[in-house]
């Protein structure tokens, strides 16, 4: 499912002459990032799995519904003249709005429900930029 989400982001936010996202990757790409990516790759997004919550089953019935929650970790650069990262906080809002527009209400192949926004969290803000995670969920079936 994460591959389908990455493809959706590439199609909706990573294409065209002025893409909203300049780099889109998965959990492995995020794990390899130690510092803010180069400016030509920002804003960047990394799709990571978060949780799977099984719904109660009816007796021995299959398939079983599972709520899948995934995160999109966003990275935006700070202005050189803004060592506190305050401008990055402002600059990330249109990126987050575009991300929500691309995912909310979209049904991934194999999902039983449309994607829903599940919340957001600040990861880190500093002189180099801002890292933020927005979380989304959808229901799938296993079995």
| Residue in this structure with the two tokens 């926004």, named with its chain if needed | 117
Question: Going by DSSP bridges, is the β-strand pair 23-25/44-54 parallel, antiparallel, or unpaired?
Answer: parallel
Extract the tokens encoding 43.
């804003």
Inter-residue long-range contacts of 116-124, CB under 8 Å, 24+ positions, other chains counted? 118/69, 120/96, 123/73
pLDDT band at 40; cut points 50, 70, 90: confident
pLDDT band at 135; cut points 50, 70, 90: very high
Mean local confidence (pLDDT), 89-118:
96
- pLDDT tens across 9-38, in order? 999 999 989 999 999 999 999 999 888 888
pLDDT surpassing 80 at residue 84: no
Phi and psi based region of residue 57 (left: phi greater than 0; alpha: psi -120 to 50; beta: remaining):
beta
Which is more confident, 83 or 7?
7
């Amino acid at each position: 499912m994460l591959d389908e989400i990455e493809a959706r982001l590439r199609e909706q936010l990573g294409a065209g002459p002025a893409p909203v996202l300049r780099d889109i990757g998965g959990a492995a790409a995020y794990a390899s990032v130690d510092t803010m990516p180069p400016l030509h790759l920002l804003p960047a997004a990394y799709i990571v799995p978060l949780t799977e919550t099984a719904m109660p089953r009816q007796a021995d019935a299959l398939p079983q519904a599972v709520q899948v929650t995934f995160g999109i970790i966003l990275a935006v650069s700070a202005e050189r003249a803004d060592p506190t990262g305050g401008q990055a906080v402002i600059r990330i809002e249109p990126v987050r709005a575009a991300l929500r527009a691309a995912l909310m209400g979209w049904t991934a192949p194999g999902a039983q429900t449309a994607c829903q926004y599940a919340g957001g969290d600040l990861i880190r803000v500093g002189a180099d930029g801002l890292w933020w995670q927005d979380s989304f969920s959808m229901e799938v079936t296993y079995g």
